[in-house]
Structure formats: structure tokens, C-alpha cells
């Protein structure tokens, strides 16, 4: 029962005309042919593995602002024992302190991710010496990848700002908004329309963006109707509503649409998604606020993981910039979906935060490491050239 596979012929010993295996010289030749065949096979296999590799084409980076382990557990309990996050099997921890403080703020936290260096608190897209540094989103854009951000706060707020703007202080919303004009981001979704359209310098950045061929929808429905091209969708004057005040399924829907738009770029894409308000629940010491924002963020994570699973070429990384509130859960009930939350501060804390990864390249996110090393892991995964600092 032999198939006409040339390898079978190559690997089976040469036979004489009587069907007997040839003697010594034949055996030597057989060994040599076998060795060569295996070498060739090995090279083929290695080549395939290295080319198909653990390298993703796209990266989706989800930041739960202020999302420590207890915040995650609040969402798990409120969901009566379910989180999409659990689908990630590669898990690590990130050390969050900033260049000048044991406790980071969200500007220094996001800038560590975006530029690959720890910086001082309040600083946006600049290193600890005050020098502007290119962000992972800008470098991805430079290399021809599509880029996007979806957040539930003003797009000028510290976390999204740190991926595009370069300013010495996070409070400079109008200067940060103007920095968006200097980039070529493909899809930007969130709030903050007032910093673009009602400015002290009287510029109307939305008109300028329209001049740069951006579509400017003002509702989620208008955004979802867009077929292709560049989009800045600012759906609120400042921040979006809390989940408890009717934000609904804005973020999971906006992210699904954004992935569909960005994936039209054949070179790949880098997308940052923020669960912006988990942090605000912590600052307000409001356990219910935390739980509802965490449930929404996890719903978004589910949409992203489904998309990444179907795509097969997308690395998904989910982490936090820091923990907020010194939050803990001394008691709860998984059947009822209820728990008691306690807080030790109205500010951030210095504890490590978990990192969850899914998809090709996820192994790189295991272990315990500095928050700023996540930048290098992204650059490595997408083969992005990082200029020397
Ligand atoms: Mg934030
Ligand atoms: Zn905060």
C-alpha cells in the first residue's frame, strides 16, 4: 500500500533488481539520503514556523483605567460568576510606579505604555526630561498600519492623549486636541467635542479635520453607518455618560465597528481601547460604579476576543495603568451577584496590576515586569522600528 509520495521513495532503502536490500555501499547511500531528506524537512518546518510565527498582524490594547484585581472581581461577582477576561491564558503583572512617584497617575501610566519609558506624573507623551517621544501608535502609523482609539471619556483625557499628544501637563485639553491634527489616526471615538469646537483660540478643529478628509459623525448610529475612510466620532461634549446613567452598549458596538474599519488596511492595525471610568468609580469610592463599568469593559473584551479568534492574526492585551481606591471585597454572594466593597483611599495605589494576553505573541506578556516594557513587546510583535531615543 504505497502512495506515490517522492519522500517515501527517498526514505525507503534502495533495492536491487531482486527486491533485496543492497549491501554496504547501498546502506551508506541510504543513510546519506535519509539524513539529507530529514534536514530538508527540518528546514521546511522551521521556515514555516518562523514565517507563520507567533507574530500578529494586529494589536488591540485594552486599558481598564484603575482596574486592579478587586475591580475585576467586582465585575465577576456582578456577572454572577462570569468574565470574558478568563478566556486569556497568558497572564502577567505590571509594576506601575512612575519616574517621580511611587503612585503613578494615568498620564505617566499611559505614557509608559505608549513611549516605552517611565515619565513623571501628569506628563503626556514626553519622557522624564520633558522631551517628546514617538508613541507606539504614531510608529505603527508611520509603518503603514491603520490606527485607532475608542474611549468612554474625552479623547483629550490622560490615557488616550498619551498615545498621540506631547504636552507637559494632562490638564491642557485644548493643546492636546490640537495635537490630534498632527497625527494620521484613522478612527478616533469618544467624547471631548468642546475641546475641538469651542476653543479659546477660536480654531474649529472639527472643520480642520473635515478638511483633512475626516468624516465627523456625532452619534454612534452615524458612526456605525460609515463604510470606510478616516473618522473622528466625538459623541459627547466632554465625557460619555456613566453606565448607570445610560451609556448602554456604546463601547462594545463602537469597538466592533472600529475593528471592521481598521482591518481594511492589509498591513494590519494598532487599536487602543479604554475602559475609562472604572477609575472614576474608585476615586468616588463607589463600588456599584466600579462593578457596572467593569461589566461593560468585560463585554467589550468579549467582542474583541470573538473578533480576534475569528481573525487568528490579532494579539489582544488587556491591563490597567494602576489600581484606584485601594479597593477590596470583604464579602459577597455569587448567586445573587452582590458584594460589599471597601476602600482605603480616594486616590490610586501602588500595587501591581494584572496583564492578560490572547493570540499570537501572547507568551511575551507572562511574568512580572515594568509597565514601560509593554511598549517594546508591542514593537517586537509588530516588527516596528523604534528610533534610538
Ligand atoms: Mg484614563
Ligand atoms: Zn485616576
Ligand nearest to the CA of 348: 2
How close is the Cα of 348 to the center of ligand 2, in Å?
6
Each domain of the chain, given as residue ranges in start order, spans 6-49, 56-381
Residue 272 has pLDDT above 90, yes or no: yes
Residue 21 has pLDDT above 90, yes or no: no
Residue appearing with cell numbers 522600528:
385
Q: Which residues are found with C-beta within 5 Å of the ion, ligand 1? A: 65, 106, 159, 276
Q: What is the pLDDT of residue 361?
A: 97
How close is the Cα of 154 to the center of ligand 1, in Å?
9
Kind and range of the H or E element at 342?
strand 338-342
Q: Does domain 56-381 have CATH number 3.40.720.10?
A: yes
35-39, 260-264, 321-325: lowest mean pLDDT where?
Answer: 35-39
How close is the Cα of 30 to the center of ligand 2, in Å?
70
Comparing 77 with 11, the larger pLDDT belongs to: 77
Of residues 169, 188, 184, 94, the one with CA closest to residue 139: 184
Comparing 35 with 309, the larger pLDDT belongs to: 309
Rounded CA-CA distance 347/349 in Å is 7
Q: Which residues pair with residue 61 across a beta bridge?
A: 272, 317
Instruction: Name the catalytic one among 94, 106, 114, 263.
Output: 106
Q: How confident is the model at residue 388 (pLDDT cuts 50, 70, 90)?
A: confident
Q: What is the pLDDT of residue 29?
A: 52
Rounded CA-CA distance 272/310 in Å is 19
Cα-to-chain-centroid distance, residue 334: 29
42-56, 178-192, 261-275, 369-383: lowest mean pLDDT where?
Answer: 42-56
How close is the Cα of 369 to the center of ligand 1, in Å?
21
Q: Please give the model's pTM, rounded to 2 decimal places.
A: 0.87
How close is the Cα of 321 to the center of ligand 2, in Å?
9
Cα-to-chain-centroid distance, residue 1: 52
Residue 244 catalytic?
no
How many CB atoms sit inside 10 A of residue 248's CB?
11
Amino acid at each position: 500500500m504505497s502512495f506515490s509520495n517522492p519522500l517515501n521513495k527517498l526514505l525507503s532503502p534502495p533495492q536491487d533488481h531482486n527486491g533485496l536490500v543492497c549491501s554496504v555501499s547501498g546502506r551508506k547511500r541510504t543513510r546519506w539520503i535519509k539524513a539529507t531528506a530529514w534536514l530538508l524537512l527540518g528546514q521546511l518546518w522551521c521556515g514555516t514556523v518562523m514565517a507563520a510565527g507567533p507574530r500578529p498582524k494586529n494589536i488591540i490594547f485594552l486599558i481598564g483605567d484603575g482596574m486592579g484585581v478587586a475591580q475585576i472581581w467586582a465585575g465577576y461577582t456582578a456577572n454572577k460568576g462570569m468574565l470574558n477576561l478568563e478566556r486569556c491564558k497568558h497572564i502577567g503583572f505590571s509594576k506601575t510606579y512612575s519616574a517621580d512617584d511611587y503612585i503613578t497617575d494615568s498620564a505617566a501610566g499611559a505614557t509608559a505604555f505608549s513611549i516605552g519609558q517611565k515619565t513623571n506624573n501628569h506628563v503626556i507623551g514626553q519622557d522624564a526630561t520633558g522631551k517628546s517621544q514617538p508613541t507606539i501608535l504614531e510608529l505603527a502609523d508611520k509603518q503603514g498600519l491603520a490606527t485607532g482609539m475608542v474611549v468612554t471619556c474625552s479623547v483629550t483625557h490622560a490615557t488616550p492623549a498619551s498615545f498621540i499628544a506631547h504636552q507637559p501637563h494632562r490638564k491642557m485639553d485644548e493643546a492636546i486636541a490640537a495635537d490630534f491634527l498632527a497625527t494620521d489616526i484613522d478612527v478616533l471615538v469618544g467624547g471631548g467635542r468642546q475641546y475641538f469646537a469651542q476653543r479659546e483660540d477660536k480654531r474649529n478643529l472639527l472643520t480642520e479635520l473635515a478638511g483633512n478628509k475626516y468624516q465627523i459623525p456625532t452619534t454612534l448610529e452615524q458612526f456605525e453607518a460609515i463604510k470606510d475612510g478616516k473618522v473622528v466620532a466625538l459623541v459627547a461634549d466632554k465625557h460619555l455618560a456613566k453606565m448607570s446613567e445610560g451609556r448602554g452598549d456604546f463601547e462594545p458596538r463602537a469597538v466592533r465597528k472600529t475593528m471592521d474599519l481598521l482591518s481594511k488596511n492589509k498591513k494590519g492595525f494598532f487599536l487602543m481601547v479604554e475602559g475609562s471610568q472604572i477609575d472614576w468609580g474608585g476615586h468616588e469610592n463607589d463600588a456599584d460604579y466600579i462593578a457596572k463599568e467593569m461589566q461593560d469593559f468585560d463585554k467589550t473584551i468579549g467582542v474583541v476576543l470573538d473578533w480576534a479568534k475569528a481573525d487568528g492574526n490579532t494579539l489582544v492585551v488587556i491591563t490597567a495603568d494602576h489600581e484606584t481606591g485601594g479597593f477590596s471585597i470583604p464579602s459577597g454572594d455569587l448567586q445573587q451577584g452582590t458584594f460589599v466593597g471597601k476602600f482605603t483611599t480616594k486616590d490610586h495605589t501602588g500595587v501591581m496590576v494584572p496583564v492578560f494576553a490572547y493570540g499570537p505573541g501572547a507568551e511575551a506578556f507572562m511574568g512580572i515586569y515594568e509597565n514601560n516594557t509593554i511598549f517594546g513587546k508591542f514593537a517586537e510583535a509588530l516588527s516596528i522600528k523604534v528610533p534610538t531615543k
